[in-house]
Structure 1
Amino acid sequence: MSKVRQFIEEQFLIEFDDTFPETSDLFKEGVMDSFGYIQLIRFLEKEFAIKFTEQEMTGGVMVSLAQIEAAVALKAANRPADRS
């Protein structure tokens, strides 16, 4: 999941550390807005070959790096196997 962390740190010019843990709410901390959230979702869908439903995106579950990584891991684990 280092790709997710790297994307967020580079895109939003932050660094996760002791003073800004991975559980920090990116919206409440002013790091990410709705436009940035859409950019993040697009990156995650492309990078991990997953698709988020509108309900998943608007449910407010993915507000921290820890929650985002958990959601991506769950989606990736549950995606249909490639049948090519």
Structure 2
Amino acid sequence: MDKIRAFIEEQFLIEFDDDFPEDSNLFKEGVMDSFGYVQLIRFLEKEFTITFSEAEMTGNVLVSLTRMQEAVAAKLAARDGATA
């Protein structure tokens, strides 16, 4: 999950800390726009070999680092459980 944090901090030139917690909404804070969001989704899908549905991408699921990490963890658990 550190890869997600590193990608966001590098891509959007921010640093998560006490003033900018991991549960900050990246859209509302003006950090991420729709183009950046598409790049982020592509990174997550490629890096973790997962796929997000349209509902997940448009349903405010992936708006903060915390929620992204939870979504990726759930996808990985479902995928690994299905292949076990």
TM-score when normalising by structure 1: 0.94
2:83 is aligned, of 71, 81, 84, to: 81
Q: How does 1:35-54 map to 2 (within 5 A)?
A: 35-54=35-54
Task: Report the counterpart of residue 58 of structure 1 in structure 2.
Answer: 58
Amino acid at match of 2:6: Q
TM-score when normalising by structure 2: 0.94
Task: Report the counterpart of residue 12 of structure 1 in structure 2.
Answer: 12
Structure 2 CA distance for aligned equivalents of residues 13 and 65 of structure 1: 14
* Bigger proportion of residues as helix: 2
Partner secondary structure for residue 52 of structure 2: coil
Ranges of 4+ aligned residues in structure 1 off by more than 6 Å: none
Structure 2 CA distance for aligned equivalents of residues 31 and 75 of structure 1: 25
In structure 1, the gaps of 5 or more residues are none
Partner secondary structure for residue 8 of structure 2: helix
Structure 1 CA distance for aligned equivalents of residues 39 and 83 of structure 2: 26
Percent of aligned pairs with the same residue?
71
Task: Report the counterpart of residue 32 of structure 1 in structure 2.
Answer: 32
Structure 2 CA distance for aligned equivalents of residues 59 and 37 of structure 1: 13
Please, what is the CA RMSD of the aligned residues?
1.1
Structure 2 CA distance for aligned equivalents of residues 73 and 55 of structure 1: 18
Partner secondary structure for residue 83 of structure 2: coil
